[in-house]
Amino acid sequence: MSYASIFAPGLFAGKVVVVTGGGSGIGRCTAHELAALGATVALIGRKPEKLERVGAEIAQDGGLSSPHVCDIRSEDAVKACVAEIVAQHGRIDGLVNNAGGQYMTPLEAISAKGWEAVINTNLTGGFLMARECFSQSMSRHGGAIVNIVADMWGSMPGMAHSGAARAGMVNLTETAATEWAGRGVRVNAVAPGYIASSGMDHYPPEMGPMLREMAKTVPLGRFGTEAETAAGIVFLLSPAAAFISGTTLRIDGARPQVRMGWPMRVADERAQARDAIKPFNGFHRASTPKVFQS
């Protein structure tokens, strides 16, 4: 089997795309799709075994990738990692700023250390990666950057540190799109909503019931797939998005539009089977998160 991308074969042939957090979840899926479309994918993460596993998968599928262990929170590490990628591949054409992480804690219980850890991962690390990819490569020949944020519209109760970081990344996206346009660099963001990703396997078991009920708050009546998120990222990296910069693409089934006082009409299984909204599962190596397995 191979990745069933909706995009044209060879779309990214000869291109080098960096994917942070490429060892699991949305990052892994996106890396697979880009490699299937001809890109050489530079996988970045903190755990070499995860990068090597994804790299082996991509090689088995006939694609090209390289692993690069890096803590994106460290300025020196990011500088060295990007330099390594440029030395190995000659250039960087695209960056998917996907690495991130957070934990659920009420605002009053978040320590300064915990706050800084989440801000550094979800905001500062993305800034450092974007700056270095631009400075060391894209400023000379152009490129495209996609920053992954989150469904934080309105508020993010229980994850205030993540919400603040993601909101900051949206503004950083808009600012970078303005400052770097003169060098032929586009910068956009993708905001996934409730996505059935392997990242859910790291949540504590007691969150299982809540996670299983969350689909009822989404007008389209379901969780999104990793492949649906990857497709949005790949589109924004592609030539088809050549006049799109500084925007945030939401992939969330209209969840932020739910309003008190308006009756929810959640799509049932029959509606979800219709072509316009049925799930897209192009990732041939996707697996169902444990919380949704019977």
- The tens place of each residue's pLDDT in the chain, 294 residues long, gives 899 999 999 999 999 999 999 999 999 999 999 999 999 999 999 999 999 999 999 999 999 999 999 999 999 999 999 999 999 999 999 999 999 877 778 899 989 999 899 999 999 999 999 999 999 999 999 999 999 999 989 888 888 899 999 999 999 999 999 999 999 999 999 999 999 987 777 777 777 888 888 899 999 999 999 999 999 999 999 999 999 999 999 999 999 998 878 888 899 888 888 988 999 999 999 988 888 886
Q: Is beta strand 143-148 parallel, antiparallel or unpaired with respect to 94-97? A: parallel
Q: Which of 94, 182, 82 is nearest to 144 (CA)?
A: 94
Residue with tokens 């006082």: 261
Structure tokens at 187: 């910068």
According to the model, what pLDDT value does residue 90 have? Answer: 98
Sheet holding 94-97, edge to edge: 64-69, 40-45, 16-20, 94-97, 143-148, 185-192, 248-251
Residue with tokens 């490569």: 137
Helix (H) or strand (E) holding 45: strand 40-45
According to the model, what pLDDT value does residue 212 have? Answer: 85
Q: Which of 188, 200, 272, 193 is nearest to 228 (CA)?
A: 193
Give CA–CA dist 268/175, Å, rounded.
Answer: 40
According to the model, what pLDDT value does residue 259 have? Answer: 83
Give CA–CA dist 56/11, Å, rounded.
Answer: 22
According to the model, what pLDDT value does residue 294 have? Answer: 63
DSSP class of 194: S
From residue 265, how far is each of 27, 256, 291 by CA, in Å?
32, 14, 25
16-196+226-254 belongs to which homologous superfamily?
NAD(P)-binding Rossmann-like Domain (3.40.50.720)
Q: Which of 9, 6, 62, 52 is nearest to 28 (CA)?
A: 52
From residue 99, how far is each of 46, 58, 294 by CA, in Å?
10, 19, 29
Give CA–CA dist 108/165, Å, rounded.
Answer: 17
Helix (H, G, I), strand (E, B) or coil at 277: coil
**Size of the chain, expressed as the number of residues it contains:** 294
One-letter amino acid for residue 115 of the chain: W
What helix, strand, coil percent values describe the chain, rounded to 5?
Answer: 50, 15, 40
